[in-house]
Structures are given as structure tokens and as C-alpha cells.
Amino acid sequence: MVIGLTLAVGFAAMNTGNNLLFFGWGLLLSAILISGILSEATLRAVRLWPLPAGEARARTPARLPVVLENARRLPAFAVELRADVTDPMGVRLPGASAFELRMEPKSKKTVDACFVPQRRGRHRIDAVRAATGFPFGFFEKEKLAALDAPVDLVVLPARVDVGDAAHDLLVRLGDAPARRAGPGDELFGLRPFRTGDDPRRLAWRRSAKTGRLVVRETEAQKSRDLILDVVLPAVPDRDRADHALDVAASLAEDLLGAGHAVGLRAPGCALVPTGGPRQRSAVLHALALIDDTAPIPALPARRAAVIAVVAEGGTAPAGASIVLDAASVARAT
């Protein structure tokens, strides 16, 4: 538009010989020249490189940290950061960007390029670039960051509300005996009385018979080891499979957060039950990278309750303690 306006004013000035039109034409030409010089000077001094991304979830705003550096002795203005993110289906995601109005001379800062991934799986950061239209916005110039190789970002399954389902599962499963003394309801054994013991726990008949004070101990209860058995549709269906994986991931998070030992069995993946943050990360990453067509491995024999998370169109496996229909859980929005 600016170039067209400049050409129009120039032709009008030459045809009419009007000094005012020549003056306007000169202003437009100088504005184009100054805009090109200043935008080039701004980008030439800007350096950028991506950092490892944190945890990202499908259908949730994610952040890609990128370091921006202004290497010159003058401020840099109106620098826009853009990242080219490709999802596992090869679709370029829009909106991975950030904007810095002013960067101080010789300064460095980390900014987050925000975007919303729609699917789980391995995403690829193909390029990171800086752009500016400074000072007039007539033209926009870009500078591409040199990446040695595309940066991978694993997007975890989306978070869905499984609170009611998790509560119902735990109520149905109950606790398991821990085979050690502790708080509980069942009798574990007798032991000699020690200072500080509650007199109400004294076993009077046994004490009278042996002539020594003894107390009753109860058997502690522990949460049962759980294995999530994810069953995907018999006919490959990406949307139904992804929803079942969202349900399984959210359920595993809630159960691990409540202190349960959780394992996983799914196509191409088998994790023995255990607890803690490392197991949460292992389960979520395994669910994020599952290949629907991979064979289902076997888990070592272990005393654990099996919870089958069955996708719509799947068939519940034999031997499952509880079957959870993933279609009964609301989808992530």
C-alpha cells in the first residue's frame, strides 16, 4: 500500500510539477528508506535460541522458552518472536509467538512463545525467528535462528475430570493388608506391654493367663497396587484413542497423587506399579507417545488390581478387576 501510494504521488508530482507533491513524495521515499535501515539494524543485533521446554499438555496453553539478546549499544524496539511448531500429524500450529516492545542495550532475557497444542505426542520445533516492523510498520523483516537440528517437544495427554471415577474405583477396590503392625481393624498379633501404650488395648485374658501384660496389635492397611490396562479401539480411531489416553493419564495422576502405586499396560508399553514423581512422568510420557498399532506386552506376575480403561469401540480384557468406559468421562475442552 505504501509503495503504491508513493508511486501515485510521484506520477502526480511529475505530471503537475507541484512542489507540495514533490515534497510529499520525498517524505514517503525517505520513510521507506529509514524504515528499512532501522528494522535491519534492530534485527542484526538481535540473537535468539530456544531452551528446553517444560511440561506441555494437549488443549492447554504451552510455553516454549526462547532467549533473546540485544547485542548492540542501542535499545531494540518492537521485536516479535515466532516459533514454527509442527504436531505429530504434520500440521503447523498457529500462534506460537511473543512480543517485546523494548529491549535494553546489551541485555538478555528469556521470553515464552505461547501456543495451544491440540494433540498429544512428539511435536517438532522447526524454526525460531525474530521479526520487526519498526519504526513505521511499513515493512516487516525477519531473522531466522540457526538450529543445529529440530527441537522436539513431547505434549502429554490432555487433563480431564476423573475425580468421581477415581473415587468410585478406590471405594470398590478397598485397601489391602500390609502384613505389618499399624493402624487398622484386623488383629495382627500380641506383644508385651510398653510404657506409653494405651491401656484400652490390653488383652486382659491373655495377660491373666500368662501373668504378663500384653497388648493387641492391629494390622496396617495399604493402598493396593494398581495397573491401568488401556484398551484402544479395534478399528483405529485417533479421536477415540486420544480420549481414552486422556482418561488414563488423568486417572494415573490422581491415583499417584493419592499415594497409590500405579503401573501401566498399553500398546507398546508396560510399566510395573510404583509411586512417586518419576512414575508420574514415566506414565504420562508413555501415554503421550503410544503407537496404536504396537503389540501389547505382558507384565510380570504381580499382586495388583487391574483397572481396564476401555476406549469406545474397544473390548474389555478378561481378568480385569474393574472396567472403566472412557466414553463415560467428559472430553477435554
As a whole number of angstroms, the distance between CA 194 and CA 320 comes to: 45
Which secondary structure element, helix H or strand E, spans residue 246, and what is its range? helix 238-257
Looking at the DSSP assignment, which residues form a beta bridge with residue 112? Answer: 65
For residue 278, what pLDDT is reported? 94
Q: Which of 180, 254, 250, 268 is nearest to 217 (CA)?
A: 180
As a whole number of angstroms, the distance between CA 28 and CA 9 comes to: 9
As a whole number of angstroms, the distance between CA 275 and CA 101 comes to: 46
Distances (CA, A) of 211 to 192, 201, 216, 239, 269: 11, 16, 16, 71, 59
Strands 214-223 and 175-181: antiparallel
Structure letter (DSSP) for residue 150 = P
For cell 501401566, the residue is 264
Averaged over successive runs of 10 residues, the pLDDT of the chain (333 residues) comes to 67 69 69 80 87 90 91 89 90 86 91 91 90 82 81 92 83 59 63 82 81 75 77 86 93 86 90 91 95 81 80 82 85 74
Domain architecture of the chain: domains with CATH: 46-156 (2.60.40.10), 163-174+224-328 (no CATH), 179-222 (no CATH)
Coil, helix or strand at residue 213: coil
For residue 179, what pLDDT is reported? 53
Structure letter (DSSP) for residue 300 = P
Q: Which of 86, 119, 83, 88 is nearest to 98 (CA)?
A: 83
Radius of gyration, CA atoms only, the chain: 32
For residue 155, what pLDDT is reported? 95
Q: Which of 72, 2, 89, 3 is nearest to 38 (CA)?
A: 72
For residue 220, what pLDDT is reported? 47
